[in-house]
């Protein structure tokens, strides 16, 4: 049973990680209750530190509720700055605090903690928020340049809106913290993984196209979870309805030809360790595209030509660990299993996820996951598919 203070774990990528959340005196301090709770939902243990000016925007009681412990707001001689933590997160970070840190000042509990952790070579992450005029201050810019050059000091990009550098989305901050803490010790840390996702479209005339069914949700969520674990995903993404995140590489395409060109170029010229082909690529496209709008009063006849299979072209440019998807319609489990095993050979992949669009809904995503070791796992959701893909990658890479 959940208490008022407890949170439901969404991801475990920060499990056991100790984060010192330092709050300084800007209006964005009001966002830190949500930030602390979200860090805990990823598994982190959070301890809060507050400057005196931050308490004019948010009370210590609010942060105590968020982290289940009273925040530290004063230096009392009990060496509050000598703590064991895995990362210091300064959010929000004001101009005043950033300049103090760059000068080595330690005049409050936050700047003293940062000075101590910097000396211990612990990662320190700043989320600067302020008006644009302050952000353009030459002294601040000089100090930002100095801090950026320092090892283990990082800055999270803010949102530029209404003449201000605003607090970014909570998910953006937590995801980048997770990536940073996992990028050296996780089995997938530093691994470059290419993912295709979303649908593709082929034009008929300037205002019409044909396409196929794919929301892009699974590929976007997979790229996110790989990023959380320290991997370096690149998402080659068709016009799906799920918006990819901003903190990993996204290459937007529309047609099967664009996806083919982008995938082959990436795999040929970049050092990827794995490729996951989750996109719904059109098997056929019109042989001719009209250069003017076809009249709706006329009979429309379109001739189609088959498109080459992207996944079968990969071995011509590189050798990587490959995961393919096989989508069918109204198949029995036995039929789907047979088609999935055939796809292992015809696609020349290491793993196949075989699924039936007829059975997929918002509530479930049943699939058979097959590999070259004659292993077969039946799953029922996108969460299970993603979890299994990650396990396969961890084992293979």
pLDDT at position 290: 87
CATH number for position 84 = 3.40.50.1950
> Given a cut of 60, is residue 318 above it in pLDDT?
yes
SS3 332: coil
Q: Is the predicted pLDDT of residue 187 greater than 80, yes or no?
A: yes
pLDDT, tens digit, 9 for 90 and up, residues 237-280: 999 999 999 999 999 999 999 999 999 999 999 999 999 999 99
Pairing of strands 45-50, 18-23: parallel
Residue 9 lies in a domain: no
Clarify whether residues 172 and 214 are in a common domain. no
Residue 362 has a pLDDT of 81
Assess contact for 191 and 273: CB atoms under 8 A: yes
Query: Would you state the pLDDT for residue 12?
Result: 95
Domain boundary among 140, 157, 182: 182
Please report whether residue 2 resides in a domain: no
Considering its fold, how many domains does the chain have in total? 2
3-class SS at 372?
coil
Could you tell me how many residues make up the chain? 397
Parallel/antiparallel/unpaired status of strands 284-286 and 367-371? unpaired
What is the rounded distance in angstroms from the CA atom of residue 176 to the CA atom of residue 156?
8
On the CB side of 335, how many CA atoms lie within 13 Å of its CA?
A: 8
Q: Is residue 8 part of a domain?
A: no
Residue 81: predicted pLDDT: 67
| Beta bridge partners of residue 327, listed in sequence order | 355
Task: Indicate whether this model's pTM tops 0.85.
Answer: yes
pLDDT number for residue 291: 87
Give me the phi and psi of 191, to 5 degrees please.
-80, 130
Query: Looking at the DSSP assignment, which residues form a beta bridge with residue 325?
Result: 353
pLDDT (tens digit, 9 = 90+) per residue, 357-380? 889 888 899 999 999 999 999 999
Report if residue 10 sits inside a domain: no
State mean pLDDT over 43-57.
Answer: 97
Whether 223 maps to a domain, the answer reads yes
Q: Would you put residue 323 in left (φ > 0), alpha (ψ -120 to 50) or beta?
A: beta
**What's the confidence (pLDDT) of residue 76?**
79
Q: For residues 18-50, b (16+ Cβ closer than 10 Å) or e, as one string?
A: ebbbbbbbbebbebbbebbbbbbbbbbbbbbbb
Strand partners, 54: none
Q: Is residue 212 part of a domain?
A: yes
Residue 356 above 60 pLDDT?
yes
DSSP, collapsed to helix, strand or coil, labels residue 183 as: coil
């Amino acid at each position: 049973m959940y208490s008022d203070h407890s949170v439901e774990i969404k991801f475990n990528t920060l499990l056991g990680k100790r984060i010192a959340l330092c709050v300084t005196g800007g209006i964005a301090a009001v966002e830190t209750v949500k930030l602390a709770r979200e860090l805990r939902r990823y598994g982190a243990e959070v301890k809060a530190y507050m400057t005196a000016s931050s308490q004019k925007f948010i009370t210590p009681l609010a942060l105590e509720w968020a982290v289940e412990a009273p925040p530290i707001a004063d230096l009392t001689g009990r060496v509050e700055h000598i703590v064991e933590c895995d990362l210091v997160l300064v959010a929000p970070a004001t101009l005043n605090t950033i300049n103090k840190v760059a000068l080595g000042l330690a005049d409050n509990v936050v700047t003293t903690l940062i000075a101590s952790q910097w000396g211990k070579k612990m990662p320190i992450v700043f989320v600067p928020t302020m008006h644009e005029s302050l952000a353009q201050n030459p002294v601040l810019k000089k100090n930002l340049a100095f801090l950026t050059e320092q090892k283990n000091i990082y800055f999270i990009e803010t949102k530029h809106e209404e003449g201000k550098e605003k607090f970014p989305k909570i998910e953006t901050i937590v995801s980048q913290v997770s990536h940073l803490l996992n990028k050296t010790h996780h089995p997938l840390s530093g691994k470059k993984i290419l993912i295709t996702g979303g649908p593709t479209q082929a034009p008929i005339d300037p205002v019409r196209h044909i396409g196929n069914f794919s929301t892009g949700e699974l590929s976007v969520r997979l790229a996110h979870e790989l990023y959380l674990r320290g991997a370096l995903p690149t998402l080659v993404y068709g016009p799906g309805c799920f918006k990819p995140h901003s903190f990993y590489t996204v290459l937007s395409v529309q047609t099967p030809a664009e996806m083919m060109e982008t995938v082959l170029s990436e795999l040929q010229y970049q050092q990827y360790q794995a490729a996951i082909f989750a996109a719904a690529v059109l098997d056929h496209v019109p042989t001719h595209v009209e250069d003017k709008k076809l009249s709706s009063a006329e009979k429309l006849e379109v001739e189609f030509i088959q498109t080459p299979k992207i996944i079968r072209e990969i071995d011509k440019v590189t050798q990587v660990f490959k995961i393919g998807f096989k989508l069918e319609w109204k198949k029995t489990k036995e039929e789907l299993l047979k088609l999935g095993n055939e796809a292992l050979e015809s696609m020349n992949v290491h793993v196949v996820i075989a699924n039936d669009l007829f059975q997929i809904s918002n509530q479930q995503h049943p699939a058979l996951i097959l590999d070259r070791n004659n292993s077969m796992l039946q799953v029922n959701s996108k969460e299970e598919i993603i979890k299994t893909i990650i396990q396969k990658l961890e084992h293979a890479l």
